[in-house]
Amino acid sequence: MGHRHELVTKYSRQAPRYTSYPPAPHFMDMEHPQRALDLIDERNSVARPLSLYIHIPFCASLCWYCGCTKVITRREGDSTAYLKRLYSELESMSSRMNSGNRVVQLHFGGGTPTFLTPDELRETGRRIRDLFPFERDMELAVEIDPRRLTEDHVRALAEIGCNRASIGIQDVREDVQKAINRIQPMETNERTVRWLRDAGINSINVDLIYGLPFQTRESFEDTLAAVKTLDPDRFAIFHYAHVPWMMPSQKLLDRHPMPDAHEKFAMLEMMIANLTSSGYSYIGMDHFARTGDDLSLAQQNGTLQRNFQGYSTRADSDIYGFGMSSISQIGDGYLQSVKDLDEYHRRIDEGLLPWSREYYLTDDDRIRRHTIMRLMCDLELDFRAVGDLWGIDASSYFAGSLAPLEDMAADGLIDRTPHGLRVTETGRMFLRNIATAFDAYYGDPQKKARYSRTV
C-alpha cells in the first residue's frame, strides 16, 4: 500500500498519450504544401490498404469535460454546408489515389457523427464508397451519442455498412452526469444497443471515462456493473484529461469533488480486476476486449497497432483524415487540417489544401516511433529485434533511456530481460510514463504543459 502510494505520487506526471510520435504539439505550421502532395503521390505509386477517418465536428450541446475539436450548434444547415466541403475534399483526394487501393478501415469520429441526419449519413456513406473502393471484410466504425439517436440513424448506419459502433456513455450515475452536463439515462443506452443489434451491427464498444467529478472506486464499480448488462465486446476506459488551461469549459468541473490521483489509481486497479474476471482481456493501457475478440488476438500475436483512434488491428495502412482538424498519417508524414470551421470552408471553396500543420519524421523519429508503438502494444521490447529492423545497436542507441529505465525497474514498473524489457502488471498502469523514456522530445517544458497527467 505504501509502495503504491509512493508510485502514484512519483509518476503522476504530464505525458503524451502517444497516439502519434512525435505527439501532435510537435507538428509544425505547414510551409511546403507541395511536399505533402509529393508524399501522397509517392505513396500511391503502388496500391495499398487505406484507413479513412471522417471528422464530423458538430454537437448539439457541450459536455463540460470535452477535449475534442467540436462545434456546438443545433442548426441542421450547418452540417449541410460542412458536408458540401467534405465531399469536395474527398473527391479531390480520391483523384490522387492508386486505383488498386482498398479501404480496410473507415472511422467516423467527432464531435458527433450521428449529428448528421439519417439521409446525410446515407449520402456520405454512398459518396465515400463511390470514391474509395472498400475491401470486402473492412471495418466501418462510427462513434455514437445515444442522446439524440433515432432508430432511422441506426438503419442508415447499417445501410452504409457500419459493423462497429462506439457508444459514448462515460458514466451512468446521475450526480456525475449533472456535473459534466451530459444527462443520459441508462434506458437510452439500452435502447441504442437494442437498435444496433436489431440492425445487425453486432460489434459494440462502450466508451467510459474515469477521473470525473463525484466518481469514486465504488461509484465506478456501479457504472461497470450497469454497462456490463449491455454485453459490449469492447470497453475503452479513458483517463479524464483535465487540461482547463486549454479547454476552459473544464473549469466548471472544478466546483465539484474530483477523485485525486490515488483514488483514480484505485479505480484503474478495480476496473482491471473487474473486467478481466468477467471475460475481457486488458489491451494496452485503456482498452478491454472480449477474450477471442480481434483486438485480444492481435495483442497475443504481436500485431496490435496504435494510432489516432487508439488501438487497432489494421496494420500497415496509411490513414487519410477528412474534415476540419483531422490528422492524416501517410508514410512518414503527418498532416493536420485547420481547426476552425470557417477557415476549413474557405480553404475548400478556394481550392486550397485543408492542412495547416505538418510533420515529416526524421530517421531518429522513425526508430523511436516504432519503439514506442511496440512498447504500447506488446508491453515488451526486444532491443535485438529493434536493432535488426533499423540497422542499429539498439542498446547503445537508447543509452540515454537507460537511467530512467533503471529507475522504473527499481520501482517494479518493468523487468529487464536479457535483450530488452517487459512491462510488469504494475507497470501497465504507468505505460505512458515508461514510453517517455524513449521520447526524444519529452524534455520540452512548453509542450509538456499541454499534456494531461498519467494518473
How far is residue 227's CA from residue 252's CA, in Å, rounded to a whole number?
A: 26
Please name which of 308, 279, 288, 245 lies closest in space to residue 446, comparing C-alpha atoms: 245
**Which is nearer to ligand SF4, 62 or 266 (by Cβ)?**
62
Residue 17 CA from chain centroid, whole number = 9
* Closest distance of CB 170 from ligand SF4, Å: 8
Beta-carbon-side half-sphere exposure of residue 84 (alpha carbons within 13 Å): 10
How far is residue 136's CA from residue 2's CA, in Å, rounded to a whole number?
A: 53
**Which is nearer to ligand SF4, 36 or 63 (by Cβ)?**
63
* Using rule CB under 6 A, residue 55 touches ligand SF4: no
* Closest distance of CB 451 from ligand SF4, Å: 19
How far is residue 282's CA from residue 238's CA, in Å, rounded to a whole number?
A: 13
What single-letter amino acid sits at 214?
Answer: F
* Closest distance of CB 281 from ligand SF4, Å: 27
**Which is nearer to ligand SF4, 69 or 98 (by Cβ)?**
69
* Closest distance of CB 321 from ligand SF4, Å: 16
Query: Per-residue contact track with ligand SF4, 167 to 196, x per CB under 6 A?
Result: -x----------------------------
The sign of the CA dihedral 117, 119, 122, 126 is negative
**Which is nearer to ligand SF4, 66 or 83 (by Cβ)?**
66
Q: What is the DSSP letter of 14?
A: B
Interior angle at CA 105, CA 19 and CA 191, nearest 5 = 90
Residues numbered 412 to 451 that lie near ligand SF4 (CB under 6 A) are none
**Which is nearer to ligand SF4, 103 or 172 (by Cβ)?**
172
* Closest distance of CB 258 from ligand SF4, Å: 17
Count of residues near ligand SF4 by CB under 6 A: 11
Cα dihedral: 245, 249, 250, 251 (round 10): 70
User: Residue from 89, 120, 145, 439 that binds ligand SF4 (CB under 6 A)?
Assistant: 145
The answer to whether 227 and 184 have CB atoms below 8 angstroms apart is no
Scanning 105-113, 226-234, 407-415, 447-455 for contacts with ligand SF4 by CB under 6 A, the matching segment is 105-113
* Using rule CB under 6 A, residue 110 touches ligand SF4: yes
* Closest distance of CB 206 from ligand SF4, Å: 14
Scanning 104-112, 195-203, 223-231, 280-288 for contacts with ligand SF4 by CB under 6 A, the matching segment is 104-112
**Which is nearer to ligand SF4, 249 or 426 (by Cβ)?**
249
**Which is nearer to ligand SF4, 70 or 264 (by Cβ)?**
70
* Closest distance of CB 143 from ligand SF4, Å: 8
* Closest distance of CB 222 from ligand SF4, Å: 21
Cα distances (Å, whole numbers) of residue 315 to 50, 303, 336: 10, 7, 21
**Which is nearer to ligand SF4, 169 or 394 (by Cβ)?**
169
Please report where in the chains the cell 457508444 appears, as a residue. Answer: 167
Beta-carbon-side half-sphere exposure of residue 255 (alpha carbons within 13 Å): 11
For the chain, helix, strand, coil in percent to 5 are: 45, 20, 35
The sign of the CA dihedral 355, 360, 365, 368 is positive
Residues numbered 286 to 305 that lie near ligand SF4 (CB under 6 A) are none
Query: Per-residue contact track with ligand SF4, 56 to 95, x per CB under 6 A?
Result: ---x--xx--x-x-x-------------------------
How far is residue 309's CA from residue 191's CA, in Å, rounded to a whole number?
A: 26
**Which is nearer to ligand SF4, 109 or 387 (by Cβ)?**
109
* Using rule CB under 6 A, residue 113 touches ligand SF4: no
Cα distances (Å, whole numbers) of residue 217 to 175, 261, 284, 371, 406: 15, 12, 21, 34, 32
Interior angle at CA 285, CA 280 and CA 291, nearest 5 = 20
> Which cell numbers hold the place of 98?
492508386
Residues recorded for the chain: 455
* Closest distance of CB 71 from ligand SF4, Å: 9
Give the residues lining the site for ligand SF4 (CB under 6 A). 59, 62-63, 66, 68, 70, 110-112, 145, 168
